[in-house]
Amino acid sequence: MTAIVLVHGLWADGSAWSETITALRALGHEPVAAQLPLDSMEGDVAAVRRVLSTVDGPVLLVGWSYGGAVITNAAVGQGHVKALAYIAAFAPDQGESVRDLAHRRPGSALPEHLKVTDDGHSYIDRPAYGKVVAADADAARIALAAAVQKFPRLGIDSAPSGTPAWREVPSHYLVATQDRALPAATQRELADRMGAQTTEWDTGHGPMYAHPQDLADYLHTLTKGL
């Protein structure tokens, strides 16, 4: 069966996928979630490639939010990665950064709720985590996500992307139409640019929090024929 490797975003960790992993296992999969250091894009790409080295192909590589930029680079030269899935994700072209794409359109609630530590790391103000990431998710689940969020190093989003894997690897994009972190209009533009098979859901930035079973079903469908 196709292996599924899941890659989280900024201000999150691999536990973001917990309920989706449980649902995927019930569908017969053995998914693996990468844990990104979030100190540099280079380090995060290396972390995903390390995970990829531990699974047999074919692989569906899934990136959420910033994780989309990571898989865009990590999948290059990985022949057993047969498809990419972007979940409300950044999909930069060569030379572009996550920051470039984040500022392409107004509408994100991130700037007003982003906090910075004295040693140069960032986090989302915990009471506002749901507003930014998944307003339609259960309050208890969001409180947990806010509590375990990672603190990415400032500037990690400014690293320029290399040659994008989506030029060669079949790609899928799940647009979150109620996204308060990455405007849906930007998501649609990115999906169109890379020729992705696009699906739209009326949900916030983090569908793994609000709709984990539906997300598992969606990913399961993408593995068919790989």
Closest CA to 85 of 183, 213, 2, 196: 196
User: Taking 90 as the threshold, does the pLDDT of residue 225 lie above it?
Assistant: no
Distance in angstroms (rounded) separating the CA atoms of residues 208 and 65: 11
Query: What pLDDT sits at residue 57?
Result: 82
How would DSSP label each residue in the chain?
Answer: --EEEEE--TT--GGGGHHHHHHHHHTT---EE-----S-HHHHHHHHHHHHTTSPSSEEEEEETHHHHHHHHHTTT-TTEEEEEEES---PPTT--HHHHHTSSS--SHHHHEEE-TTSBEEE-GGGHHHHH-TTS-HHHHHHHHHH---PBTTGGGPPP-S-GGGTS-EEEEEETT-SSS-HHHHHHHHHHTT-EEEEES--S-HHHH-HHHHHHHHHHHHTT-
Tell me the per-residue pLDDT of 68-104, one tens digit each, with 9 for 90 and over: 999 999 999 999 999 999 999 999 999 999 999 999 9
CA diameter of the chain: 49
User: Taking 90 as the threshold, does the pLDDT of residue 140 lie above it?
Assistant: yes
Are the C-beta atoms of residues 63 and 84 closer than 8 Å to each other? yes
- Band (pLDDT 50/70/90 cuts) for residue 1 is confident
Tell me the per-residue pLDDT of 158-205, one tens digit each, with 9 for 90 and over: 999 999 999 999 999 999 999 999 999 999 999 999 999 999 999 999
Average pLDDT (140-155) is 98
Tell me the per-residue pLDDT of 172-182, one tens digit each, with 9 for 90 and over: 999 999 999 99
pTM to 2 decimal places: 0.98
Distance in angstroms (rounded) separating the CA atoms of residues 75 and 84: 8
The rounded percent of the chain whose pLDDT value lies above 90 is 98
Distance in angstroms (rounded) separating the CA atoms of residues 170 and 85: 9
